């Protein structure tokens, strides 16, 4: 009886090689770990559960996986591998999956929704043709933009879910979708996604008008730390193409721009700096932490996005849809990809957390200032019953804050 390893060695690999999957630029990635394995706290330390592993990842190019192959031992049926093949294909955002016991092969095609028995694996060219037809990405320049390699300077390839976010965004942009939203939990690497996305579009000379030039991209956030850090570290490979917009000279000659909304926005004292740039200046605008009011109708930041209306606009947020950020979802549309906190913990890319609930006497009973009580600036405090919802908003009790912290 052949076990799974025998099936792979004797049947699967030779058949994949016969179809041409080992010929450059295509490749077969064997026993590829796609997660880190969930962190399980143990006493003072932790252990990890085993990572999820795919038997084979078929790659059209080094940075573009196109199908997954799951194998079972020869004494089982190919059908026994279907569920796992589907699970991995859906997890990895792939459109093709194969289940096999060596002798039989079942193909799952997500474009057509069909499951078929086939006698041999399709060649890389056949599968790529089907991918292009299904995704509608057929132009020569579009294909080169979708397949543009990642920047591997840092040595680490993007994680599986980052690759999905990057590829889905590029496919959406190439398909003409002007407003795009990604929802990814805090700590899962939104900046890496933004960088590789920009790199692929920039290095393949994608732009809104189809001219032969590199795109002009604006990366917007609402705090300097969220701009300076990416600009100086993650986006360093852009070199001299980078420019931070601040008050002072207006520079039109760069390609990778960074700014905080506050520097661009208008207020009572000044006209918005964004008006110094023509409305069609940028090809793509990436709005980091876009739920922080950028898409609200009345926000001054909305004016910036409206001014640059011709640009493709990508919103990135960590917060799923709730009442207080409904406007963001109305403006950008539903997310084309979501990677949740729960998934991040399950995959072991984020550590699990424990909630410590602290209730002070003031939270339990409410707080009311005494008659003559003054705040630390010597002002009288309005007489009222203050509850937990008011703390840190209406009134800050420093002793309570210290105690909880």
Residue whose tokens read 């190019």 = 61
Q: Does an H or E element contain 184, and which?
A: strand 179-184
CATH code of domain 4-135: 3.90.1570.30
pLDDT for the residue 343: 96
Least-confidence region, from 198-202, 259-263, 264-268, 277-281: 264-268
Query: In this predicted model, which residue has the larger pLDDT, 122 or 320?
Result: 122
Least-confidence region, from 201-215, 267-281, 362-376: 362-376
Highest mean pLDDT among 179-188, 257-266, 318-327, 385-394: 179-188
State pLDDT tens for residues 67-108.
999 999 889 999 999 999 999 999 999 999 999 999 999 999
Residue whose tokens read 């909630």 = 355
- Domain map (residue ranges) of the chain: 4-135, 140-338, 355-405
User: Per-residue pLDDT averaged across 251-267, rounded?
Assistant: 90
Nearest residue to 334 via CA among 344, 322, 321 = 321
Nearest residue to 277 via CA among 319, 242, 320, 307 = 307
Which residues lie across from 314 on neighbouring strands?
A: 180, 286
Helices and strands (H and E) in the chain: how many:
14, 15
pLDDT for the residue 353: 81
State how far the Cα of 266 lies from the Cα of 261, in Å rounded to an integer: 9
pLDDT for the residue 300: 63
pLDDT for the residue 299: 67
Query: In this predicted model, which residue has the larger pLDDT, 224 or 156?
Result: 224
User: Contact, 337 vs 164, CB < 8 A?
Assistant: yes
pLDDT for the residue 296: 58
Q: CA angle at residue 54 from 190 to 64, to 5 degrees?
A: 50
- The phi and psi torsions of 252 (rounded to 5 degrees) equal -105, -5
User: Contact, 37 vs 50, CB < 8 A?
Assistant: yes
User: Contact, 12 vs 4, CB < 8 A?
Assistant: no
**Looking at the domain 140-338, which fold is it?**
Rossmann fold (3.40.50)
Q: Does an H or E element contain 142, and which?
A: helix 140-146
Highest mean pLDDT among 119-123, 271-275, 383-387: 119-123
State how far the Cα of 258 lies from the Cα of 226, in Å rounded to an integer: 10
Least-confidence region, from 224-238, 276-290, 363-377: 363-377
Q: Does an H or E element contain 195, and which?
A: helix 190-203
149-170 burial code (b ≥16 CB/10 A, e <16) = ebbeeeeeebbbbbbbbbbbbb
Expressed in angstroms, the distance from the first to the final Cα of the chain is 62
Measure CA 111 to chain center.
23
Query: In this predicted model, which residue has the larger pLDDT, 394 or 299?
Result: 394
pLDDT-derived band of residue 295, with 50, 70 and 90 as boundaries? low
pLDDT for the residue 361: 81
Measure CA 253 to chain center.
29
Cα radius of gyration rounded to whole Å, the chain: 26
User: Per-residue pLDDT averaged across 252-265, rounded?
Assistant: 92
What's the residue count for the chain?
A: 405
State pLDDT tens for residues 343-374.
999 999 999 987 777 788 888 888 888 887 88
User: Contact, 228 vs 268, CB < 8 A?
Assistant: no
Q: Is the pLDDT of residue 208 over 80?
A: yes
Q: Is the pLDDT of residue 159 over 90?
A: yes
- What pairing do the DSSP bridges indicate for beta strands 105-109 and 284-288? unpaired
pTM for this one?
Answer: 0.87
Q: Provide, rounded to the nearest whole percent, the portion of the chain with pLDDT above 70.
A: 97
pLDDT for the residue 1: 53
User: Contact, 63 vs 150, CB < 8 A?
Assistant: yes
Tell me the H-state helices in 255-384: 261-264, 300-307, 326-332, 341-347, 361-365
State how far the Cα of 178 lies from the Cα of 200, in Å rounded to an integer: 18
Q: Is the pLDDT of residue 293 over 70?
A: no
Nearest residue to 189 via CA among 159, 153, 164, 168 = 159
Asked whether the bond before 282 is cis by omega within 30 degrees of 0, the reply is no
State how far the Cα of 214 lies from the Cα of 273, in Å rounded to an integer: 24
Least-confidence region, from 34-38, 132-136, 189-193, 400-404: 400-404
Nearest residue to 114 via CA among 97, 131, 126, 90 = 97
pLDDT for the residue 297: 56
Which residues lie across from 179 on neighbouring strands?
A: 313
């Amino acid at each position: 009886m052949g076990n799974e390893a025998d099936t792979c060695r004797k049947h699967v690999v030779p058949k994949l090689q016969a179809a041409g999957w080992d010929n450059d630029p295509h490749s077969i990635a064997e026993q590829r770990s796609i997660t880190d394995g969930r962190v399980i706290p143990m006493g003072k330390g932790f252990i990890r559960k085993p990572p999820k592993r795919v038997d084979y990842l078929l790659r059209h190019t080094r940075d573009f996986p196109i199908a997954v192959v799951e194998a079972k031992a020869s004494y089982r049926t190919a059908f026994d591998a279907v569920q796992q093949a589907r699970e991995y294909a859906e997890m990895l955002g792939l459109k093709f999956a194969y289940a096999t016991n060596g002798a039989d092969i079942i193909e799952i095609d997500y474009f057509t929704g069909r499951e078929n028995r086939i006698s041999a694996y399709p060649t890389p060219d056949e599968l790529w043709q089907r991918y292009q037809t299904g995704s509608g990405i057929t132009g020569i320049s579009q294909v080169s933009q979708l397949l543009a390699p990642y920047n591997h300077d840092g040595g680490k390839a993007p994680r599986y879910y980052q690759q999905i976010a990057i590829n889905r965004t590029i496919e959406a942009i190439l398909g003409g979708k002007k407003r795009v939203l990604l929802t990814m939990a805090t700590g899962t690497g939104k900046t890496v996604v933004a960088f590789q996305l920009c790199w692929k579009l920039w290095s393949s000379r994608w732009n809104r008008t189809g001219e032969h030039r590199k795109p002009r991209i604006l990366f917007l956030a609402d705090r300097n730390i969220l701009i300076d850090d990416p600009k100086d570290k993650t986006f360093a490979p852009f070199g001299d193409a980078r420019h931070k917009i601040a008050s002072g000279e207006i520079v039109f000659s760069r390609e990778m721009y960074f700014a905080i909304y506050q520097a661009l926005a208008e207020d009572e004292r000044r006209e918005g700096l964004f008006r110094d740039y023509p409305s069609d200046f940028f090809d793509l605008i990436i709005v980091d932490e876009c739920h922080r009011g950028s898409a609200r109708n009345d926000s001054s930041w909305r004016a910036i996005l409206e001014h640059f209306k011709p640009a493709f606009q990508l919103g990135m947020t960590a917060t799923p849809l709730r009442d207080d950020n409904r406007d963001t979802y109305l403006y950008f549309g539903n997310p084309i990809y979501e990677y949740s906190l729960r998934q991040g913990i399950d995959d072991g890319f984020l550590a699990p957390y424990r909630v410590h609930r602290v209730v002070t006497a003031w939270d339990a009973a409410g707080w009311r200032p005494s008659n003559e009580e003054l705040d630390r600036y010597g002002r009288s405090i309005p007489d009222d019953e203050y509850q937990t919802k008011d703390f840190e908003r209406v009134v800050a009790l420093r002793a309570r804050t210290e105690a909880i912290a």
